[in-house]
């Protein structure tokens, strides 16, 4: 590690000025920031040493039960996760050694989507394609220009373009590699690239963008440009998450990022991995953006009943909360006292993605920096509120209809309201709905329960109607109360519901079961199912690139029309569906419609398909391809409801449409017609009206349940309301337990439940690790504190299942002296020290069966038996079998794994004329081995072939057997390509 007290060399000093400009302000804000002693690494090292190895690590097959080696030659069989960590650790170590401790220049290119210091470039795929077309000086109607512009569409000209469909950067590489300015990687440093990207983010005109892209093009090879494009799009997908990368940089990096959303601060304040943050540094701070808690998806949780169970009700507190899910933008509001600010208060607003919206919603109550919200909320807080942080949703509210409006209108409404100096009370405006309070009068509330945070919120915020309001909640106790509320919000065209556990703490940047969102699309047996014919297809991106990922469905205008009639096969567009399809569903649709699709021509659209905007000669929701209904398939789709939309020809569409099944039993002319749809719509509306009346009647009879005030509880320190009722013993007498997490496998138990179990059986509980030799550390999830303990590599960590196994075994051994079970490496150990590996393996036999514990679980027994080798397997002699096939006249040369059978191949030594010879040799050797051949060395006899570089007349064959054929390496490559052993004559050396 470099010493930051040393002075940077001239190149490093010049580069820092290039990247950071005037450093006086930075020095005042970050007085202890690290300074690199040398210039940053070349840009190409990011993909040669980091990105490509990370991607390759995910492709290599690894034995599932490979055991990690211990010692100086260890890490040969790392798991994919550990292999990725190892790659990142090597790159960070290289940076520290060769550059210094300021890793920020690299970090902002490794996880560009988390870099909040650099503004958005305002460049999407088609804009970049347009700029590259000009940089390369190719015609906009050329095949290469079209292949970049239509990057989602499979290529028609070559197989390569087909394989990169949906991968824009891959498409660009194909075009760039045909006309490179340079073939070798450049010497551009990461710092120089960052400086240019900063310039790009500050420009908006196409001329300036063209200059910057031209600068890069003249200095980078196609590989570098491809990765640069991915960085600009903030779509790296390198197989490692930001959590992994941040954790490797520093154990507290993720924690600090969650409370600050600031990569610069993470890299500069945590440059020394040995220095840990204090507890005060890991909490939310006023006027610093944090990563908010997120809600889990219902589809991940299950039915309503299971969802409520996940909210962890207790016998004396089974309450959960139901809130309407709002269609807006997640927003956090920070407010502090500032005597110098107009109105005495200063505000900050940040989105979930950490974008600063203070400029839009307002910094002060009054003056030029009062925005679309702050100047209207002077009376929103009680007088005793000095500072506060609120979490909520910024939505658009229509004052004329007194209803929420869709998210797409929010920014327009905010800009309009910011400029509304007449304070008119009409039109659309931003409304901040608050549902959580995380900081109040210098007190951090994240470790308090949601119920207590809500109480603080209601004491602090009075609200201003239709400007800033506390989001209403419903207190419920049964899962049966969910569906009526969901039906109600669906009827009002709302997003859905959010269920919350009032006993939970606030978990930064975490999506867990304490908050669960329920959308109508997940409701079973609710909504309308429609059998519609597919009339259009949309190409996907990413893993769905090159194929249709979603489809346009239509309604038949006239089922009774015959061939020749103007209405025959004519369809009106009704909805677009892309959710619910499995891989088999896509394959089935593709198999039934392949070769029948036609590219959509906007200038000459098909007359049999009418889209939204047809009357105004517009083409809303225009598909990439269309198909005749008679050549298509019928699909059954379900939806939450119908909603008005001018984007489709019917002027209606489905809300949350999802594919249900392919109707292979129906022909195209049996699909739903316009007339049938209108009849169905009328019927559904009548049913909804009847159910709504019934619902209102039930609600009028419902009495409000009596509630009692719950005591203040800081989550994490709670105790069980129901004491442990199982058998008690002195089994763990003399042992001390530090239980770090809940139990997740094979059953779920909270930390408090595990502690009660240990206490009931004689154990002692502590809340931190120590040097006590009788300390048992228990964990079942790799949290930050658990990972930190692992890195110290001084203590074993046991899984909670060991506690249950000990108690169950003691119960089974009735009358005997109770004893704790010896640890089993695989079943019991969450983290095992290398020094204890061999000792612990002695506790089980070669099949993993414990010598001390009875197996009562059928699944565990089956797993052990499955892993046992069979002693009665009949020996199979592969060589004898293949010889017998040949004796019976069967040719094996057409089988790839037999094409080189009975060949012994020797390879020439290094070539002076072919620098790529070692790479070609390694690849050719793999082909020979896979094809059943044998690779021999120079001193071995019996060789059948001697392989040399093509055109190398100086290769010595003095040791080559006279019976061996001397051939060029192209012979092996040709055999592999053709899938059979081709004749050697054309590839014979010297021929």
Q: Name the strand (E) or helix (H) holding 777.
A: strand 775-778
The total of other beta-carbon atoms located within 10 Å of residue 862's CB is 10
The angle at the Cα of 981, spanning 980 to 983, to the nearest 5 degrees, equals 135
| CA atoms of 905 and 936, how far apart (whole Å) | 6
| CA atoms of 927 and 976, how far apart (whole Å) | 7
Tell me which residue has tokens 């260890």: 74
For the four alpha carbons of 373, 376, 382 and 387, in that order, the dihedral sign comes to positive
The answer to whether 787 and 273 have CB atoms below 8 angstroms apart is no
Which residue of the set 310, 325, 363, 519 is catalytic? 325
Q: Name the strand (E) or helix (H) holding 497.
A: strand 496-500
Tell me which residue has tokens 């120079």: 938
The residues, ordered by sequence, that sit 6+ positions from 158 with a Cβ below 8 Å of its Cβ are none
The answer to whether 424 and 432 have CB atoms below 8 angstroms apart is no
| CA atoms of 58 and 77, how far apart (whole Å) | 14
Query: Closest Cα to residue 853, out of 812, 798, 817?
Result: 812
**What are the φ/ψ torsions at residue 503 (nearest 5 degrees)?**
-95, 5
Q: Name the strand (E) or helix (H) holding 610.
A: strand 609-610
| CA atoms of 550 and 613, how far apart (whole Å) | 21
- Sheet containing 511-518: give its strands across: 294-297, 511-518, 496-500, 320-325, 474-476
Helix (H, G, I), strand (E, B) or coil at 329: strand
Query: Closest Cα to residue 649, out of 618, 691, 683, 695?
Result: 618
Helices (H), 820-877: 825-828, 837-841, 858-867
The answer to whether 571 and 594 have CB atoms below 8 angstroms apart is no
| CA atoms of 644 and 575, how far apart (whole Å) | 11
Tell me which residue has tokens 């989105």: 351
Dihedral, 394, 396, 400, 401 alpha carbons, nearest 10: -90
Query: Closest Cα to residue 238, out of 160, 192, 175, 169?
Result: 169
459 labelled catalytic: no
| CA atoms of 451 and 711, how far apart (whole Å) | 10
Query: Closest Cα to residue 573, out of 619, 527, 507?
Result: 619
Helices (H), 302-449: 304-310, 358-361, 410-418
| CA atoms of 909 and 988, how far apart (whole Å) | 18
DSSP 504-564: PPP-TT-EEEEEEEE-GGG-TT-S-EEEEEEEEEEEB-GGGBTSEEEEEEEEES-TT--TT
DSSP 720-770: -SS---S---STTTT-EEEE-S-B-SSS-B-HHHHHHHHHHTT-EE-SS--
| CA atoms of 804 and 827, how far apart (whole Å) | 12
Structure tokens at 240: 């490692």
Which residues carry out catalysis?
325
């Amino acid at each position: 590690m470099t010493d930051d007290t040393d002075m940077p060399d001239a190149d490093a000093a010049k580069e820092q000025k290039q990247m950071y400009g005037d450093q006086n302000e930075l020095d005042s804000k970050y007085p202890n920031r690290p300074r690199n002693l040398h210039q940053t690494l070349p840009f190409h090292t990011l993909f040669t040493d980091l990105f490509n190895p990370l991607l390759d690590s995910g492709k290599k097959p690894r034995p599932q039960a490979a055991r990690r080696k211990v010692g100086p030659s260890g890490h040969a069989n790392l798991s994919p996760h550990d292999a990725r960590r190892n790659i990142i650790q090597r790159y960070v170590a290289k940076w520290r050694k060769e550059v210094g401790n300021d890793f920020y220049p690299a970090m902002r290119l490794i996880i560009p989507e988390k870099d909040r210091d650099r503004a958005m470039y305002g460049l999407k795929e088609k804009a970049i394609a347009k700029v590259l077309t000009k940089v390369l000086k190719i015609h906009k109607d050329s095949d290469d220009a079209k292949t970049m512009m239509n990057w989602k569409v499979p290529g028609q000209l070559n197989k390569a373009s087909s394989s990169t469909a949906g991968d824009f950067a891959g498409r660009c590489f194909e075009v760039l590699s045909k006309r490179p300015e340079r073939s070798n990687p450049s010497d551009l440093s990461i710092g120089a690239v960052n400086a240019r990207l900063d310039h790009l983010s500050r420009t908006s005109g196409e001329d300036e963008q063209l200059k910057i892209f031209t600068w890069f093009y003249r200095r980078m090879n196609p590989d570098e440009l491809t990765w640069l494009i991915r960085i600009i799009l903030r779509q790296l997908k390198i197989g490692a998450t930001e959590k992994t990368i941040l954790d490797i940089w520093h154990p507290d990096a993720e924690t600090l990022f969650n409370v600050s959303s600031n990569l610069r601060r993470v890299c500069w304040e945590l440059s020394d991995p040995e220095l840990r943050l204090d507890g005060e540094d890991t909490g939310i701070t006023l006027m610093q953006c944090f990563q908010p808690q997120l809600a889990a998806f219902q589809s991940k949780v299950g039915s309503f009943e299971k969802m409520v169970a996940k909210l962890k009700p207790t016998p004396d507190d089974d309450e959960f909360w139901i809130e309407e899910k709002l269609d807006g933008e997640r927003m956090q509001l920070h407010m502090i006292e500032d005597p110098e600010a107009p109105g005495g208060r200063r505000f900050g607003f940040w989105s979930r993605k950490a974008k600063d919206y203070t400029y839009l919603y307002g910094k002060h109550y009054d003056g030029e920096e009062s925005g679309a919200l702050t100047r209207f909320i002077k009376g929103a807080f009680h007088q005793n509120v000095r500072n506060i942080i609120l979490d909520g949703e910024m939505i658009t509210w229509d004052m004329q209809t007194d209803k929420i409006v869709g998210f797409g209108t929010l920014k327009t409404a905010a800009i309009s309201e910011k400029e509304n100096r007449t304070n008119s009370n009409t039109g659309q405006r931003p409304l901040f709905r608050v549902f959580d309070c995380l900081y109040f009068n210098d007190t951090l509330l994240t470790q308090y329960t949601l119920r207590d945070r809500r109480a603080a919120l209601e004491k602090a915020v009075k609200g201003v109607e239709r400007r800033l309001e506390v989001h209403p909640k419903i207190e419920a106790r049964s899962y049966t109360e969910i569906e009526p509320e969901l039906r109600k919000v669906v009827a009002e065209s709302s997003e859905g519901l959010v269920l919350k556990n009032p006993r939970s703490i606030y978990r930064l940047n975490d999506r867990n079961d304490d908050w669960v969102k329920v959308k109508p699309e997940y409701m079973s047996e609710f909504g309308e199912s429609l059998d519609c014919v597919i009339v259009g297809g949309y190409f996907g991106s990413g893993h769905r690139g090159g194929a249709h990922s979603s489809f346009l469905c239509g309604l038949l205008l006239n089922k009774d029309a015959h061939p020749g009639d103007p209405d025959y096969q004519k369809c009106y567009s009704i909805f677009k569906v892309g959710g619910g399809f499995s891989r088999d569903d896509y394959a089935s649709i593709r198999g039934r419609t392949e070769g029948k699709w036609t590219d959509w021509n906007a200038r000459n659209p098909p007359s049999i398909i009418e889209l939204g905007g047809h009357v105004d000669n517009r083409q809303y929701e225009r598909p990439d391809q269309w198909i005749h209904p008679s050549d298509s398939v019928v699909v059954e789709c379900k939806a939450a409801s119908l909603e008005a939309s001018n984007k489709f020809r019917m002027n209606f569409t489905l809300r949350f449409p999802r594919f249900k099944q392919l109707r292979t039993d129906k022909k195209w002319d049996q699909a739903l017609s316009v007339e049938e749809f209108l009849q169905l719509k009328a019927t559904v509306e009548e049913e909804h009206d009847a159910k709504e009346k019934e619902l209102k009647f039930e609600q009028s009879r419902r009495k409000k349940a009596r509630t009692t005030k719950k005591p203040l509880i800081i989550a994490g320190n709670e105790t069980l309301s129901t004491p442990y009722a199982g058998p008690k013993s002195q089994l763990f007498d003399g042992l001390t337990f530090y239980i770090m997490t809940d139990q997740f496998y094979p059953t779920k138990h909270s930390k408090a439940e595990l502690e009660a179990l240990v206490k009931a059986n004689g154990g002692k509980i502590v809340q931190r690790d120590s040097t006590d030799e009788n300390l048992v550390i228990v964990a079942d999830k790799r949290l930050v504190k658990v990972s930190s303990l692992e890195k110290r590599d001084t203590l074993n960590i046991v899984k909670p299942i060991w506690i249950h196994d000990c108690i169950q075994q003691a119960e089974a051994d009735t009358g005997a002296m109770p004893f704790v079970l010896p640890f089993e490496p695989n079943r019991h150990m969450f983290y095992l020290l290398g020094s204890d590996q061999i000792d612990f393996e002695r506790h089980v036999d070669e099949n993993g069966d414990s010598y001390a514990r009875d197996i009562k679980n059928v699944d565990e027994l089956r797993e052990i038996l499955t892993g046992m080798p069979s002693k009665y397997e009949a020996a199979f002699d592969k060589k004898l079998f293949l010889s017998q096939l040949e004796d019976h006249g069967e040719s094996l040369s057409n089988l790839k794994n037999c094409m080189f059978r009975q060949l012994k191949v020797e390879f020439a030594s290094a070539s002076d004329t072919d620098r790529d010879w070692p790479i070609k040799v390694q690849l050719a050797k793999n082909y020979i081995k896979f094809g059943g051949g044998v690779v021999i060395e120079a001193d071995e006899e019996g060789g059948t072939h001697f392989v040399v570089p093509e055109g190398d007349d100086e290769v010595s064959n003095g040791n080559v057997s006279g019976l061996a054929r001397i051939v060029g390496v192209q012979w092996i490559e040709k055999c592999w390509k053709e899938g059979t052993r081709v004749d050697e004559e054309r590839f014979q050396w010297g021929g």
